[in-house]
Chains A and B, each alone.
Chain A
Amino acid sequence: MPKRSDIKRILVIGSGPIVIGQACEFDYSGAQACKVLMADGFEVILVNSNPATIMTDPQMATRTYVEPITLASLTRIIKREHPDALLPTLGGQTGLNCAVDLARSGVLDAWGVEMIGCDLEVIERGEDRRLFAEAMAEIGLECARSGYAYTVADAEQLARELGFPLVVRPSYTLGGAGGGIAYTMAELREITAQGLDLSPAGEILIEESVLGWKEFEMEVMRDRKGNGIIVCSIENLDPMGVHTGDSITVAPALTLSDSEYQRMRVASLAILEKIGVETGGSNVQFAVNPVNGRMIVIEMNPRVSRSSALASKATGFPIAKFAAKLAVGYTLDEMLNDITGATPACFEPSIDYVVVKVPRFAFEKFKGTDTTLTTRMKAVGEVMAIGRTFEEAFAKALRSLENGRAGLGADGRDDFDEQRFKQLVSLPTEHRVFYMAEALRRSWSVADIAEATGIDPWFIHRMAHMVAVEQSLYSLSLADLDTDTLREAKRTGISDAQIAWLCSAEETEVRALRKELGVLPVFKMVDTCAAEFASETNYYYKTYDEQDEVRPCDRPKVMILGAGPNRIGQGIEFDYCCVHASYALAAQGYETIMVNCNPETVSTDYDTSDRLYFEPLTFEDVMDIVDVEQPMGVVVTLGGQTPLKLAWALEDAGVPIMGTKPEAIDLAEDRERFAHLLDEMGIAYPAAGTAESLEEAQEVAETLGFPLLVRPSYVLGGRGMVIAYNNRYLEQYMQEATKISPDHPVYLDHFLESAIEVDVDALCDGEDVYIGGLLEHIEEAGIHSGDSSCCTPPFTLSEAVDRQIRDYTCRLARAIGVRGLVNIQYAVKEATVYVIEVNPRASRTVPFTSKATGVPLAKCAARIMAGQRIAALGLPPDDRILDHFAAKEAVMPFGRFPGSDTLLGPEMKSTGEVMGIGRSFPIAYAKAELSIDYSLPTEGTAFISVADKDKRAFVSVANHLHHLGFSLISTSGTARVLEAEGIPVRRVHKVSEARPNIADEIANGGVSLMVNTPLGQETRSDGFHLRTAAVRHGICYATTLAGANAMARAIEVAQRDQTGSDELAPIALQDLEQWDG
């Protein structure tokens, strides 16, 4: 059946900001879908609030709305754009939930919009666990025994029927949020209470535990003719009990025999048929009892998911692209397999390698939270690696994580908690595999470790193999290594860095020896068919085998190093920049080579660049590719810290670095040299010093005076950065700081309190400078730029300050020698402009700035790196006045990390960002807020409790809220100030005072807005409890004065909009001026 001719305009909903459980895999899938639908002649209307996505590039769709993904917002867009169809299955749970809202509220029917790819009943049968369990029973498949609870008492009753342990899953939450495993009645009560709160339906499922069972996933595709295929099977290394997003997973499934696998296969297809998935990709999860093979169905997602992105990258089979085509009427047998270019898409990929995915965590950012892995996802990103054996793939994945590890231990970074060693072998944490490896070194048996962990012995045997090979090198010297020994080590995935550590040598010496002995890798193709057919696609991975398959090419080649796994501080923004560079350089006639290891991204789509290398971003792995490809240049400044930290080593190895040179990067990052430069140029910067010990730090503190901004050198996302207000805190910090970055000193800067921070993204070609945009932060200096909200163009800067910032930017970019992008952070205090830092590379804000101004900065940067001048790029004047404002707001993951504080500070904690566009700053900011919280409180009670230093300044905000109709409540201190100002306020007890107190009011739902600013360096204070309670109960809150002020203005806009002002009317990017880089 060819494509449907009765639909022309298709609405695609994205997944919004990057949050835990929903990351850039949905940009990958959405971008694929938009691309294929546009190519097929459809008009695509896209809605996604996340500006850092490729899918929201204006060329990707006919109409692009960077607007909140809410019922109200989508309704407005539907009314304006009249789509014929809505494709809801590519925007993750967010997109699906929004589609459900649109269907249930009758909007789709009213405007004649057909849901394609999936319908409401299917979503309900797939997501409602009761309906799902009934459907499974009808086709004779088992689910875990379970029941629903709507109250804690229900849960207790079920516990008595089912017995402990029990798995608690709230209905309709993302990535298992609010779920958990209860071993006791007390734990059950706690998790139940939390889960009922978080579930939009106020419903939780309580399920028989299948802890310790093997967990599998099947990625399935189906078309309207009923053809069904399995794209990929995935086996979790971690047994049931750890969320699949937090599990190390392997593709294909390795420990199932054929008959067991085939049963799972037919069950998956039958489940799709039973649930009624007419077309598209779905994911089905199973648990298998390792003792007797009993199989139960865990769940099914009737949409493209994180696992389907992984499966697509693991097999080369583009699930999202085909899901989109199937939704518009094509069938699987009509489509060609892209990778081979010759065989039909209606087949099941056969692969001849092993794929391992390892999640990336960021617990170091969230002190006080439980780091045990549970059924509730906590990973912030993931890496994937390909090898010819599990050992090789696993080792590659572990060194891809960007956490300083070079493999499965034996890299000089092992650091074991001896007191808790035994416990940490068995407890599922991000470190468990390292403890398991060490246990093997300490002669634990495989059976003992299997018993302790519940992990299938197969995986432990493989780890034992890795450890045995590694240990065979231990205490040898490089001179002892012969070809066979070295070759076996490399075939087992041992990295050069590990060999260097094991043999007390330098990594470069290991590399030289390998070359001398001829122990060289080859690159093999990912081709969907295990080499049965010739393949057209240059998608490669490295291994140690005989035959290399890299095809020669005559065109000049450029290599772009990607950003590695998503983590806090380094997310989708850098992938966006790399993808743009690839597009721009391809358009200039270069053969583009992408290197990255993050399966969630657009950059690792096989058709983004001419050649894709799915490899770790380490010196060894990058150099191996350089050796084969011999690129004329390597781009290191667009993928964030990951490629940047390789810059020197690559240059030392003779690799041509494109754009800004490592020397220039060093000039900007070396504090002393940079300070010297600023002195010479007569540009102000906060007084600063460095220290390698506490004594030195105290000396610096004496000279500069408190407060001090303290941080280790070479950090990402402000890791380990704090503001120290006194000596005691400084002392504590220095004690902990040594762990963070032992090779580098600690920096101490005088902290500019209450300064306005401004970010600038600019281009420089060596002579000319183009100011991409000035971003004025909402929160005052001291909050990490990744966590603060901002607005462009600036809305409070004087012309003089604006001019001075532009002038400084031009001079600095030239002086440093930038060729490409530069980001400069300024603090403005009392009309003085201070330079905080200069990053001669793409910044996190590049996609936002580009979308806000219509100038694709990353593409321009790539062209500059390829030798073009700014004057040749055809850009508009950089001082033109925009007639709209764009606000960016950060999205915080605190809900995932109960127990960690929600305060903003110099250390970045956000996972993603949203953008709002409007005719004024408050409108833009209101849209950004709506994109995160889905609604703004426009009435009700506002609880206000502010630090003493903020009390005076806060009065105007309180007054504003009062005039907006909020009833104000406060604890004694704040209340006294408001009463004195004549603002009506009701007093409530503090948490530490008698009950009922403010905590009770929050729990009872009596508070719709909370403002709580911190009192310096408090830890477990009243404020902490209130903020965490606000997160738990989903209350809109602000923890800074500036944030509260902006919030009040946004609420005012929302109120007016409700009464018909239409200020929040959606704006399509295509209606703003756009330039093509």
Chain B
Amino acid sequence: MTPAAKRSAILLLEDGSVFTGIACGASGEVRGELCFNTSLVGYLEVLSDPSYAGQIITMTYPQIGNYGVARADLQRDRLALRGLVLRAICETPSNFRSDLSLPDFLVEQDVVAISEVDTRRLTRHIRDHGAMSAIISTTDSDLDSLLQKVRATPDITGINLVREVSVAEPILYAPDDRAWDFLLKPAPPSRYHVVAYDCGAKRSILRNLHRAGCRVSVVPWDTPATEVLAYKPDGVFFSNGPGDPEPVHQTAQAARELFGKLPLFGICLGHQMIALGAGGRTEKLKFGHHGGNQPVMNLRTHKVEITAQNHGFGALFASLGELIPAESDGVREHVADGDLREWVQRGTAPVVNNRRVGRIQLTHVNLNDGTCEGLAFLDQPVFSVQYHPEASPGPTDSHYLFTAFTRLMDGRADFLDIDVSADRLAEWR
């Protein structure tokens, strides 16, 4: 880009911090909660992930757009993020699958984006001060005016962002196998029928369900349980989605009504829906987990999975019930500070007694901060993870969970006991 063609842009945070840069997408002004994602690759999957509704994403990797945009990688056709912050953007990508460059794509999708920002300074700021509201503007350079606008931005806590991204009507997932022929083995025939609650589901989750042998009916987030039961599915899936889970009452209520009736599997927000359905609570994390290198200990196998994550809220294990000492290494009290790495040290997957669903086991723990990453009901066919086994972007260590869901639908008690190593190359060509 020649200097003359450059349009300046400003990123202003609610605490008054200013970052200047160059507009690298659509013109305009956007507000949202600022977060950062540490994935080295997979920018397209990140920015098309509906879970980013209401958020401005900072990519910590400084050179973004290198392999362009392959539309097959999009997680959703309509982008839900509010804005994008980059250190440098690539206008001349190179990859045999690239359909267009990232800057062109951002303009096409009307995404306001700013580049040439010291994204590391920004990341350190969010790390130290927590997620906060921010505004990107390519049209207004008056800092006072911008500050007023950013301070008027509503906090995303308490807001139901799911309704913005969910499908309006039920649809049947249409597989896109051909786009993946170069990489993946042919999908097996469908043996199961799964209803997927769409709270903003990533396409790769639906693809993974399909590739695990499921025909997938996608339904809106607020579909009543009775309607889902009318599909007579083999199982029900609760998808990822944006923002605060607490206001997403209808989905959590549906989960609660479906407990014990069908095998259930939840990912990310879906995991939180299951926790809320069981009467648990969730919390807002300081700056969330957004990236592809989060280590998670599987407390049942004692192996670590490197996981993809994207969430700003998390379910609180202690809120699900009292520990059952006999199944929790003799421990009676939950750890005071909620740091679940205690269980990693003990090598135990603790179990609580939940008044709605019976026993719930903590299956996965985040090794960086000790938050809850996975739950399994022991008296009902339900399990969920906070992280993303579909990856996209990120490591695919946890792909086995899709297989686990089919085993759960087969009624196997050992549905979760799958060796990560054995599953590694399962679907790759």
Contacts and interface: CB of A to CB of B under 8 A. Distances in A.
Most buried by A among B36, B119, B183, B293: B293
A334 to B, nearest CB: 10
Interface residues of A, number: 69
Contacts of B303: 225-227
Most buried by B among A226, A233, A253, A485: A226
B118 A545 contact: yes
B293 A348 contact: yes
B100 interface: no
B61 A256 contact: no
Interface in A998-1022: none
Interface in B16-42: 19, 36, 38-42
A259 B94 contact: no
Contacts of A262: 391, 393-396
A389 B63 contact: yes
Given A332-B304, A530-B60, A258 B394 contact: yes
Contact of A333 (B42, B121, B367): B367
A232 to B, nearest CB: 10
Interface string B303-316: 11010000000000
B97 interface: yes
A293 B96 contact: yes
Nearest to A534: B127
Most buried by A among B3, B39, B183: B183
Interface in A229-267: 229-230, 233, 252-263, 265-267
A530 B182 contact: no
Contacts of B3: 484-485, 488
Contacts of B73: 257-259
Contacts of B119: 352
Interface stretch (A339-347, A689-697, A895-903): A339-347
B393 A388 contact: no
A256 B92 contact: no
Contact of B124 (A139, A261, A531): A531
Interface stretch (A31-39, A77-85, A455-463, A886-894): A455-463
A292 B96 CA distance: 7
Most buried by B among A270, A290, A332, A346: A346
A257 B41 contact: yes
Contact of A546 (B93, B121, B292, B421): B121
A263 B184 CA distance: 9
B268 to A, nearest CB: 18
A545 to B, nearest CB: 4
B262 interface: no
Given A461-B94, A547-B118, A344 B367 contact: yes
B89 to A, nearest CB: 11
Interface string B61-99: 111001100100100000000000001101011111100
Contacts of A293: 96-97, 182-183
A261 B123 CA distance: 25
B407 interface: no
Given A532-B123, A532-B291, A533-B127, A350 B391 contact: no
B55 interface: no
Contacts of B127: 531-534
Contacts of A353: 62
A273 B303 CA distance: 14
B428 interface: yes
A492 to B, nearest CB: 10
Contacts of A263: 183, 428
Contact of A458 (B19, B38, B70, B92): B92
A350 B38 contact: yes
Contacts of A233: 40
B123 A333 contact: no
Contacts, number: 192
Given A263-B183, A293-B183, A531-B123, A255 B295 contact: no
A293 B295 CA distance: 29
B94 A344 contact: no
Contacts of B208: none
B428 A266 contact: yes
Contacts of B393: 258, 262
A211 B117 CA distance: 39
Interface in B276-328: 291-295, 297, 302-304, 306
Interface in B174-188: 180, 182-183
B95 A255 contact: yes
Contact of B120 (A141, A255, A352): A352
Nearest to B420: A226
A616 to B, nearest CB: 20
B124 A547 contact: yes
A140 interface: yes
Contacts of A254: 63, 66-67
Nearest to B399: A266
A524 B425 CA distance: 38
B424 A266 contact: yes
Contact of A265 (B62, B70, B297, B395): B395
Nearest to B305: A227
A781 to B, nearest CB: 54
Contacts of A532: 36, 38, 60, 123, 127, 291
Contacts of A290: 96
Interface string B120-160: 11011001000000000000000000000000000000000
A347 B368 contact: yes
A333 B347 CA distance: 12
Contact of A352 (B62, B368, B425): B62
A354 interface: yes
Nearest to B46: A258
Contact of A347 (B93, B183, B293): B293
A545 B183 contact: no
Contacts of B403: none
A351 interface: yes
B94 A257 contact: no
Contacts of B293: 347-350, 529
B66 A255 contact: yes
A270 B123 CA distance: 34
A350 B291 contact: yes
A530 B122 CA distance: 11
A446 interface: yes
B77 to A, nearest CB: 18
Nearest to A529: B38
A266 B396 contact: yes
A457 B92 contact: yes
A343 B67 CA distance: 31
Given A291-B96, A533-B127, A348 B306 contact: yes
B45 interface: yes
Interface string B333-370: 00000000000100000000000000000000001100
A770 interface: no
A290 B93 CA distance: 13
A188 B35 CA distance: 57
A530 B123 contact: yes
A269 interface: yes
Nearest to A254: B66
A350 B40 contact: yes
B396 A350 contact: no
Given A252-B41, A259-B183, A464-B92, 8 more contacts: A141-B425, A252-B40, A254-B66, A257-B67, A267-B428, A292-B96, A350-B293, A546-B19
Interface of B: 3, 19, 36, 38-42, 44-45, 60-63, 66-67, 70, 73, 87-88, 90, 92-97, 118-121, 123-124, 127, 180, 182-183, 291-295, 297, 302-304, 306, 344, 367-368, 391-396, 420-421, 424-425, 428
10 contacts: A226-B421, A252-B40, A255-B66, A258-B39, A263-B183, A273-B424, A292-B182, A333-B295, A458-B90, A533-B127
Interface of A: 139-141, 225-230, 233, 252-263, 265-267, 269-270, 273, 290-294, 332-333, 343-344, 346-354, 388-390, 446, 456-458, 461, 464, 484-485, 488, 524, 529-534, 545-547, 549
